[in-house]
């Protein structure tokens, strides 16, 4: 889905570079997540102090390989690895047509195997401090996946700069059209279909609980994923009348409902998603007016919709109890959680891209950008 989405959104001279970036990010993240990422999730739910039992997630432990007495670790590791790859693909779309391949891989691995999983340890782990202290609820990872990746991309965009020709001398905003918008729409639909696997992976089968230990089932996820998709599409289309934002609205709608996906009455999920779909074209235009060139609207679709998802859960689920002695869901806890997730993405994204820019490897030279990344970085024609 991300391959098709980003290759279609690129101009033809950059289409293969957009695809290759995604494949390389996935390939590099997998081993790094095996050696580092899974341990981070187990080690830091309480903050920056290593938790007891984290050694079970070290790459040489008995659970990190074929072990007939451990049926679950490899499945969870694989799912979390692909969540990490998702954050890298979210970043990838923002940066198409001007980021250097090597710099992107460095940033993608750091985001996908270190940054997002630290946020997941805090806000998604059943012992995470955001749950135990704030009652934080984000059952389908609107925060640790989408908000973190969206705001990481925002930090990078500030240092990367806009594509040549995106902004005129007097600040006017020029459209850089996709070379194959139908491919982009197909890609977005593939991502949305893939969301069923992604969100289903947020259920602990056998126990039939959420990641937080709350009872749930596939019906909740089925109802609210589809209602979220529909609400987001309709909202984005109502505001923009643009095919690209319409389909992006489907993605943003599911993200908007994601934080409370296990608890919402389906018409409420539709309304929350509709509002999220209405917001993202406006947020995308606002980002452009700030002088930032987010080529696929990833900051709006993932970052802003992710924040709205967490805040909406605080509004509509305020006072809902968590299991055992854990504090209930509150609006204040959800707002703090949204700020933490956004900062956890933005600060590393900004600092790492600033470092890469300072050593001259963040962006391709102007002549390469003019010729097209495919001709230089791949090198072949799409």
DSSP state for residue 250 in the 8-state scheme: H
Q: What is the pLDDT of residues 129-138, one digit of tens each?
A: 999 999 999 9
- Assigned token pair, 11: 């101009």
Mean pLDDT of 109-118: 97
Mean pLDDT of 204-218: 86
95 close to 166: Cβ distance less than 8 angstroms: no
Q: Helix, strand, or coil here: 313? A: helix
Task: For the chain, list the strands marked E by DSSP.
Answer: 203-204, 209-210
Q: How far is CA 242 from CA 3, 185, 236, in A?
A: 21, 11, 8
Q: Helix, strand, or coil here: 173? A: strand
Whether pTM > 0.75 for this model: the answer is: yes
Long-range contacts (CB closer than 8 Å, 24 or more residues apart) made by 330-335 = 330/134, 330/135, 332/134, 333/130, 333/134, 333/135, 333/136, 334/134, 334/136, 334/137, 334/259, 334/310, 335/310, 335/311
Q: How far is CA 207 from CA 35, 41, 83, 225, in A?
A: 28, 21, 22, 21
Q: How far is CA 22 from CA 4, 25, 102, 296, 351, in A?
A: 10, 5, 12, 14, 22
Task: For 157-239, list the strands marked E by DSSP.
Answer: 203-204, 209-210
Mean pLDDT of 366-376: 93
Whole-number pLDDT of residue 313:
97
Q: What is the pLDDT of residues 324-335, one digit of tens each?
A: 899 999 999 999
């Amino acid at each position: 889905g991300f391959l098709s989405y980003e290759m279609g959104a690129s101009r033809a001279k950059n289409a293969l570079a957009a695809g290759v970036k995604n494949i390389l990010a996935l390939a590099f993240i997998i081993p790094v997540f095996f050696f580092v990422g899974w341990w981070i999730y187990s080690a830091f739910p309480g903050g920056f102090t290593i938790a007891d039992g984290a050694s079970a997630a070290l790459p040489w432990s008995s659970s990190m390989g074929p072990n007939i007495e451990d049926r679950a670790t490899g499945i969870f590791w694989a799912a979390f690895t692909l969540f990490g790859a998702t954050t890298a693909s979210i970043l990838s779309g923002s940066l198409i047509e001007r980021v250097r391949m090597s710099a992107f891989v460095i940033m993608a691995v750091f985001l996908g195997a270190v940054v997002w999983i630290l946020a997941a340890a805090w806000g998604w782990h059943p012992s995470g401090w955001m749950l135990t202290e704030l009652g934080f609820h984000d059952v389908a990872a609107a925060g640790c996946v989408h908000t973190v990746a969206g705001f990481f991309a925002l930090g990078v965009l500030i240092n990367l700069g806009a594509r040549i020709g995106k902004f005129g001398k007097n600040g006017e905003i020029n459209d850089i059209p996709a070379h194959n918008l139908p491919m982009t729409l197909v890609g977005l639909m593939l991502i949305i279909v893939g969301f069923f696997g992604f969100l289903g992976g947020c259920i602990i089968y056998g126990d039939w609980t959420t990641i937080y230990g709350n009872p749930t089932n596939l019906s909740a996820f089925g109802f609210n994923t589809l209602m979220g998709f529909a609400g987001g599409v309709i909202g984005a289309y109502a505001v923009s009348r643009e095919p690209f934002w319409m389909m992006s609205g489907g993605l943003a709608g599911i993200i908007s409902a994601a934080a409370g996906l296990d608890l919402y009455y389906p018409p409420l999920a539709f309304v929350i998603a509709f509002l999220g779909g209405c917001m993202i074209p406006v947020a995308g235009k606002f980002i452009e007016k700030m002088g930032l060139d987010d080529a696929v609207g990833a900051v709006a679709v993932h970052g802003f919709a992710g924040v709205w998802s967490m805040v909406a859960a605080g509004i509509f689920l305020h006072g809902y109890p968590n299991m055992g002695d854990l504090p209930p869901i509150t609006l204040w806890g959800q707002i703090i959680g949204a700020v933490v997730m956004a900062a956890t993405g933005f600060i590393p994204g900004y600092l790492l891209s600033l470092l890469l820019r300072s050593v001259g490897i963040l962006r391709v030279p102007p002549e390469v950008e003019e010729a097209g990344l495919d001709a230089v970085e791949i090198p072949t024609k799409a």
